[in-house]
């Protein structure tokens, strides 16, 4: 959940905490952040959590940021070439612009179950009446696991939707990640609207300090795969556009899926994560946009960079980078600067690795919803 600190005294693989008490269940912000000061969010009578953020009006406890969307960027250099249908455009001879003009759309594809594929891979659930949004359980290897599903209000059973997995931090819950309305799922509903199916899984207790994603022997990856199999049979999912994001332990889970589930996960966007949930030896590349606060005292930025490097190697990238002209965190206020994103050169086509560092503690990416959707929707 946005702005929620890890609830334990120590995040896995980290040294010390940034402070804050446990958050169990959904939280909503009680106000905007003062610059760099702690903000307490109210829980559903279970607990409270305190998160420190360097932003002036950052997203806290699942509430959407109140200070608007990133400004539109311009493409540097001549001969810009479009990628997908999002605001990421490359200008020859210049830096890459994030938040620029929309890319050109793909060519028309064949029609399946009444929908145009256009490079999509519609699942077998297309054309069927969908399940409603809500909390469900599923058997995974004899263990009952739970998740919260968000089906678009205007769901069309003949349209193949991207699917986004959102994983909660340590001590959080599926309800915390799902949040309430547009403020849930790291703010994605507020910008994606009805353009994607979203799901928040429920973790398992880790070290007696709250729910998390230890993922021993791929246990939580198997949970993801079981959910994906169910959704593919019951919903119209574009199985070529399955994404993963999360904060803290949720970022670690996203890294784990990027390492070993590239056969089904197209792109990941870990926030303040590392490889405590594992990093298997999968063969498939996965696109990535990662975020980490430079003053993170819970999950060290060094461990985040180490996890990033695993994906860089997987995608065949070089060690040189191109600085991105990015306004994605400008809305968070001057205290988040410098906020720098780089794109690694030489990666396999269609599998970029973008890495963003900003001035701040253990906190999700400022204005995460718009930034995440801009990244995912290019594929």
Per residue, the 3-state secondary structure of the chain, as one string, reads CCCCCCCCCCCCCCCCCCCCCCCCCCEECCCCCCCCCEEEEEECCCCEEEEECCCCCCCCCCCCCCCCCCCCCCCCCEEEEECCCCCEEEEECCCEEECCCCCCCCCCCCEECCEECCCCCECCCCCCCCCCCEEEEEEECCEEEEEEEECCCCCCCCCCEEEEEEECCCCCCHHHHHCCHHHCHHHHHHHHCCCCEEEEECCEECCCCCEECCCHHHHHHHHHHHHHHHHHHHCCEEEEEEEEEEECHHHHHHHHHHHHCCCCCCEEEEECCCCCCCCCCCCCCCEEEEEEECCCCCCCHHHHHHHHHHHHHHCCCCCCEEEEECCCCHHHCHHHCCEEEEEECCCCCCCCEEEEEECCCCCCCCCHHHHHHHHHCCC
d(CA 31, CA 56): 11
Report yes or no on 213 lying in a domain: yes
Per-residue model confidence as pLDDT tens digits over 252-268: 999 999 999 999 999 99
Residue 262 maps to a domain: yes
Q: For the domain that residue 268 is a member of, what is the CATH number?
A: 3.40.50.1820
Residue 197 domain-assigned? yes
Q: Is residue 283 part of a domain?
A: yes
Domain residues for 243?
86-101+120-376
Whether 166 is covered by a domain: the verdict is yes
- pLDDT per residue over 159-211, tens digit each? 999 999 999 999 999 999 999 888 899 999 999 999 999 999 999 999 999 99
Q: Using 50, 70 and 90 to split pLDDT, how confident is the model at 235? A: very high
pLDDT tens, position by position, 179-189: 988 889 999 99
pLDDT 10s digits, 101-140:
333 333 333 333 333 334 789 999 999 998 899 999 999 9
Q: Is residue 58 part of a domain?
A: no
Q: Is residue 171 part of a domain?
A: yes
Q: Give me the number of domains the chain comprises.
A: 1
> Is 61 among the domain residues?
no
In this prediction, residue 257 carries a pLDDT of: 98
């Amino acid at each position: 959940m946005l702005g929620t600190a890890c609830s334990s005294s120590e995040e896995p693989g980290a040294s010390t905490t940034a402070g804050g008490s446990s958050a169990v269940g959904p939280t909503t912000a009680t106000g905007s952040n003062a610059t760099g000061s702690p903000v307490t969010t109210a829980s559903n009578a279970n607990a409270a959590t305190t998160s420190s953020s360097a932003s002036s009006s950052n997203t806290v406890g699942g509430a959407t940021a109140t200070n608007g969307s990133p400004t539109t960027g311009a493409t540097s250099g001549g001969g810009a070439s479009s990628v997908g249908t999002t605001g990421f455009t490359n200008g020859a001879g210049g830096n890459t612009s994030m938040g620029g003009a929309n890319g050109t759309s793909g060519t028309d594809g064949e029609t399946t179950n009444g929908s145009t594929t256009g490079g999509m891979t519609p699942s077998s659930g297309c054309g069927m009446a969908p399940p409603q949004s809500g909390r469900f359980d599923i058997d995974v290897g004899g263990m009952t696991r739970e998740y919260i599903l968000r089906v678009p209000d205007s769901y069309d059973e003949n349209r193949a939707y991207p699917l986004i997995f959102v994983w909660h931090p340590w001590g959080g819950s599926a309800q915390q990640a799902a949040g309430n309305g547009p403020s849930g799922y790291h703010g994605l509903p507020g910008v994606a609207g009805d353009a994607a199916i979203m799901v928040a899984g429920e973790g398992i207790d880790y070290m007696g300090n709250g729910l998390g994603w230890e993922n021993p022997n791929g246990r939580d990856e198997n949970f993801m795969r079981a959910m994906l199999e169910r959704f593919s049979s019951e919903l119209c999912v574009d199985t070529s556009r399955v994404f993963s994001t999360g904060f803290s332990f949720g970022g670690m889970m996203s890294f784990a899926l990027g390492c070993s589930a590239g056969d089904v996960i197209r792109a990941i966007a870990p926030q303040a994560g590392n490889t405590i949930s594992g990093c298997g030896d999968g063969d498939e590349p996965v696109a990535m946009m990662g975020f980490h606060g430079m003053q993170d005292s819970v999950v060290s930025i060094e461990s985040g960079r180490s996890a990033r490097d695993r994906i860089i190697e997987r995608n065949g990238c070089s060690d040189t980078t191109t600085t991105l002209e990015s306004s994605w965190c400008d809305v968070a206020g001057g205290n988040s600067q410098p906020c720098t994103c780089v794109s690694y050169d030489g990666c396999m086509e269609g599998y970029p690795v973008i890495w963003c560092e900003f001035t701040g503690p253990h906190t999700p990416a400022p204005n995460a919803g718009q930034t995440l959707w801009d990244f995912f929707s290019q594929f």
